[in-house]
Every structure is written in C-alpha cells, then in structure tokens.
Amino acid sequence: MGNKQTETLPIEERLIRIESLLLSNKKVLTFDEVVSYTGFKPSYLYKLTSSFSIPHSKPGGGKLFFDKEELDDWLLANKCKTRSEIDQEASNFLTNKSHRHF
C-alpha cells in the first residue's frame, strides 16, 4: 500500500502532509487555509486584509478568499538577492562603466 517510512509516522503528521498536498492543488483558498499555508497568525492576516496589503476577495462582503497564484506572487514579491547575484550585478556594473569611456 504505502511507503513503510510514511506508515511509521504519527497519524497527526500524516494528516498534516495530506492537508499540505490538498492545499497545493487548490486555486482558491479560504482564510483558515491561508493561515495554514503561510504560517501567519490570524490577527496578522486580518491586519493585512483590512489594510488592503494582501490580494484577496470578499464576495458580497462575506468570507475572505484568496487566489493562490496571486498569494504566491505576493509572498515572493520582495525577493532578497543572494550574495552571488549582488556580486554579479556589481561585476556587470563595473564592466559596463568601463566600456562607456570610449
């Protein structure tokens, strides 16, 4: 049936894995699903929605819904560059600067 390693995991951990797999396939998430998906505290997520800082929908003024793709884009919007990306940009800048003096 299943992998022996998976079968030895506690039931709660197996359920968490199943929930994660189900969330990864959904297009629209509820408030509680976003809390689970992001690890944000509910109070912080409410703050983000009330300040219109995070993309969300509230059809008919009721429950909050989130487009998973928009949420992923928002979560990854302010990417921090790696040391190698910064070094490469510096190298490119210096190379381009030296070529402009011709």
Tens of pLDDT along 27-64?
Answer: 999 999 999 889 999 999 999 999 999 999 999 888 99
Asked whether residue 14 is assigned to any structural domain, the reply reads no
- Residues 1, 76: Cα–Cα separation, whole Å: 37
* Residue entry with tokens 């793709």: 69
Identify which has the larger pLDDT, 89 or 24: 89
Domain containing residue 62: 27-99
Q: What is the pLDDT of residue 61?
A: 84
**97 has a pLDDT exceeding 80:** no
Query: Mean pLDDT, the chain, as a whole number?
Result: 86
Q: Which band of pLDDT confidence, cut at 50, 70 and 90, is reported for residue 16?
A: confident
90 in any annotated domain:
yes
**71 within some domain:** yes
Number of domains in the chain: 1
% of the chain surpassing 70 pLDDT: 87
Residue 79 DSSP label: P
CATH of the domain at 66: 1.10.1660
Quote the DSSP letter at residue 90. Answer: H
**pLDDT for res 25:** 80
- The more confidently predicted of residues 82 and 14 is 82
